Amino acid sequence: MKFIRSILVLFVLSAAAFGADRNALTFTQYNLKTTVTPTSQGFEAEGTVTLRNDSATPQKWAVLQVSSSLEWRYVRVGSEEVQFIAQPYTTDIDHTGAVSEVTVTLPKPLEPKQSVTLNIAYGGTIALDAKRLTRVGTPDADATRSDWDQVSNDFTAVRGLGFVAWYPVVMEAASLSDGNAVFSTIGQWRSRNRGAEMHLAICLPAKEAGGRMIVANGTESQAKPDEGCKAYDYRLGPMTVPAFVVGNFQELKRPVLTVYHEQGHTTAAQDYAAEFERLQPFAAGWFGAPKEHAMYVELTGRAVTPYETGALMFAPLGQGERMATDLSAAYQLGQVSVQSFRPWIDYGTAHFLQFLVVEREMGRANALAYLQQYARPLATADKDPAKDPAAQSLINTDDELLYRGKSLFVWSMLRDLVGDEALSAAVQSYRPEDDHDASYMQKLIESHAHKDLEWFFDDWVYRDRGLPDFHIVSAYPRQILGGQYLVTITVENLGSAAAEVPVSAQVNGGEKSVRIFVKPGEKATARINTQQVPTSVTVNDGSVPERDMTNNKMEVKPPAQ
């Protein structure tokens, strides 16, 4: 009879797992104590999570997910044991390609806007695992180069949601084989749970310490942690991915940067710190003083993909060319200088600073070449236009190509529209706590530039209208007084977004340019004075992304005598 009752309970809970609404409850607080054991790859966690019912109906169940390499030890409401079932759930939000999902039967239905606190414990191992990538055909070496997270005796570094679900989350399944589904699902969860507080203790058993150092990207807590532990506080948001690392690092401290590096790599650490400090005044001129202390953690080996989250950057040291070091330093300076919960601002300004550094160090031509790494993918993506321009806007998108690549172009084009001084002043006056409306940044820039930018933000930020597509319809040179030539150039925009774009006339020994505004589906005319008949004319120097750049140049025939 007892066996039959157990089977019935299991059946009921399994049905609940399929009927529970994974999007009904929002995380509002985490209090977790974790223990990391590098020699056995072990990871244990216990504490509480608080969930609020943000749906319109009472909820009978709560669902939690952690990495499939971790097992649920218990779930309680207060001191009361509650019924739950744990089962694997295939999804690519975790590096293992699955999560361990627990469905908890609450003591009573949770009413809308009410909260419940669950006492939880889970644990297991976090080993190197790139199954989600290899099962979609990624070669093993490439897969582990990207999904390098692990707890091990030699190397312990673990990123949060999107890599390893080492703290509880919950969302519907998403697959890497389904386009942008994984990034979209994770992005939606981060937005929905924005503002959740996490109080985290990371501990090492005494026998594991051995000079090991714990580093994480939260704010070090004012509360005194237990022996062998470090405590951190987080406020989760779209740009926040809790991450930690444990290792026998040497520490190179500077006023605004700390580099955690391997033994014997002091010179490489000093080189990075020197470049960071050399570029800091330039970054401050654009974005103001750093708002946060930057942390750089050396990744073991060179064949790994760097990763950054807020002030924390994981990357190899000694990257060879100085420009590679400058790009890393510029990006990190951007991250600690401009902070926003809006990806197009947070990521976009960091990439924009990289562009500015390339321009400063290597000239305008190389800076434009730097833009092209995003121009080509954007042009390819534009062949499949957004079905809902507002949903795919820079305000709402979960697509990394858009909030990194397109945002970089947006900041570069804004600079061309309003100038360095106005754009810099606007960015420095940005306050995330005052950003309650999507138009906040537009209004800041307009107030400093004294220029109406509604058309630009409407086509490039608030909606994904696609890209422009410029081509030269005609170019007519005629001689004018003084022996000069006036070239009349007609440009048509075959695309779907308006833009101000440079038009240039090439002559022997140089070129001369003007800027014109071209609406989608319309034509505009540029007039350029030159000392001699131009050999050719060009629209767009690469500073504006467009659908097709193969039709941007025209040879100029000399006027009839």
Closest CA to 389 of 467, 501, 492: 467
Q: Residue 481: its pLDDT value, please?
A: 82
pLDDT tens digits along 361-371 = 999 999 999 99
| Cα distances (angstroms) measured from residue 236 to each of 24, 196, 218, 246, 267 | 18, 5, 10, 22, 35
3-class secondary structure, 349: helix
Name the strand (E) or helix (H) holding 227.
none
Tokens 């890497």 belong to: 176
- Using CA atoms, how far apart are residues 231 and 226, in angstroms rounded to an integer? 9
Residue 311 token pair:
């002030």
Phi, psi values for residue 166, rounded to 5°: -85, -10
3-class secondary structure, 284: helix
Which pTM value belongs to this model?
0.90
- Using CA atoms, how far apart are residues 162 and 94, in angstroms rounded to an integer? 6
- Using CA atoms, how far apart are residues 68 and 322, in angstroms rounded to an integer? 41
CA angle centred on 532, ends 528 and 533, rounded to 5°: 75
Instruction: Point out the residues of the chain with pLDDT beneath 70.
Output: 1-18, 301-303, 319-320, 560-561
Q: Residue 80: its pLDDT value, please?
A: 83
3-class secondary structure, 280: helix
Contacts 24+ apart (CB under 8 A), 179-187: 180/398, 180/399, 182/92, 182/93, 183/398, 183/399, 183/400, 184/398, 184/399, 185/93, 186/93, 186/161, 186/162, 186/398, 187/238, 187/398
Write the secondary structure of 151-193 as one string of H (helix), E (strand) and C (coil). CCCCCEEEECCCCCCCCCECCCCCCCCCCCHHHHHHHHHHHHC
pLDDT tens digits along 341-355 = 999 999 999 999 999
Closest CA to 343 of 299, 400, 294, 302: 400
- Using CA atoms, how far apart are residues 343 and 213, in angstroms rounded to an integer? 31
Burial class of 420 by CB neighbour count within 10 A (0 to 12, 13 to 18, 19+):
exposed
Name every residue whose Cβ is closer than 8 Å to that of residue 31 and which is 6 or more positions away in sequence.
47, 48, 49, 199
Task: Give bridge partners of residue 503 from the DSSP assignment.
Answer: 514, 539
pLDDT tens digits along 200-242 = 999 999 999 888 999 999 999 988 888 889 999 999 988 889 9
Name the strand (E) or helix (H) holding 63.
strand 59-67
| Cα distances (angstroms) measured from residue 275 to each of 278, 301, 518 | 5, 21, 41
Q: Residue 1: its pLDDT value, please?
A: 40
Q: Residue 319: its pLDDT value, please?
A: 67
Name the strand (E) or helix (H) holding 38.
none
| Cα distances (angstroms) measured from residue 5 to each of 34, 103, 363 | 35, 18, 75
Name the strand (E) or helix (H) holding 127.
none
- Using CA atoms, how far apart are residues 525 and 207, in angstroms rounded to an integer? 75
Closest CA to 94 of 119, 127, 62, 120: 127
